[in-house]
Structure 1
Amino acid sequence: MNAFKAYKACVPITWSPNLYITLVRGIPGTRRLHRRTLEALCLGKCNRTVVRSNTPSIRGMLQQVKRLVVIETEEMYKARKEKDANQRALRPPLVIRHLPVSASNSS
């Protein structure tokens, strides 16, 4: 499955001053240049998210490691977090009431 599809939120993509960058693939086995780029972005472990400003230099760094990370705008990030919270929320318990069988119906 594509990493972006796994994290895609149901909101339109708009321009955002901040980018939420999440590392979704492992670092071992990658090129040294990619490892150093991830280190510069402060992404050391999988499923860690950092916030960076939307500048051309950051976008260039993300272009190098685009197969390792998921890039989201602020609206997409908030929608994904809200969706995850709704899935983890406690649901009311299922109550099943068994009515006693009357003696006249059992014979």
Structure 2
Amino acid sequence: MNAFTAYKACVPVEWSSNLYITLVRGIPGTRRLHRRTLEALRLRKCNRTVVRWNTPTVRGMLQQVKRLVVIETEEMNKARKQEAESHLALRSPLVVSHLASANNSTQ
């Protein structure tokens, strides 16, 4: 279990003022009630994130479609974005020089 998963497990959703909701499973093949709930949450495509107020109504809707979505608090979302940025920053750029390989093959 990585650090983000451990952090996600210890932060209660009820304490956050906003919820970041991401649709991670496809809509085709789901029940009509679930499709209507996702439509009410304004989730139409996979891997799209919306921000909603943390109210009992929204939490009830999320309970209904919990297997289709990922719910994050503001802190969890910021931590995930920072982790993704740091992961990309560690990679060094790939430099390809065609001149050096052409000179080696002719000699």
TM-score range with shorter-chain normalisation? 0.7 to 0.9
Q: Which residue of 1 aligns with 2:11?
A: 13
Deviations 1:14-61 (A, max 9, x none): 411000000000000000000010001010000000000000000000
Q: Which residue of 1 aligns with 2:38?
A: 38
- How many percent of aligned residue pairs carry the same amino acid? 74
By percentage of residues, which structure has more helix? 2
TM-score (normalizing by structure 2): 0.74
Segments of 4+ in structure 1 off by > 2 A? Answer: 8-12, 90-94
User: What is the total number of aligned residue pairs between the two structures?
Assistant: 88
Distance in 1 between residues matched to 2:64 and 2:34, nearest whole Å: 7
**Unaligned 5+ residue runs, structure 1?**
95-107
Higher RCO (CA-CA < 8 Å; seq separation 6+): 1
Farther-moved stretch of structure 1 (85-94 vs 53-62): 85-94
Give the root-mean-square deviation of aligned CA atoms. 2.1
Aligned to 1:58: 58
CA distance in 1 between counterparts of 2:47 and 2:93 reads: 32
Which whole-Å CA distance do the structure 1 matches of 2:93 and 2:30 have between them? 47
TM-score by length of 1: 0.74
Greater Rg by CA: 1
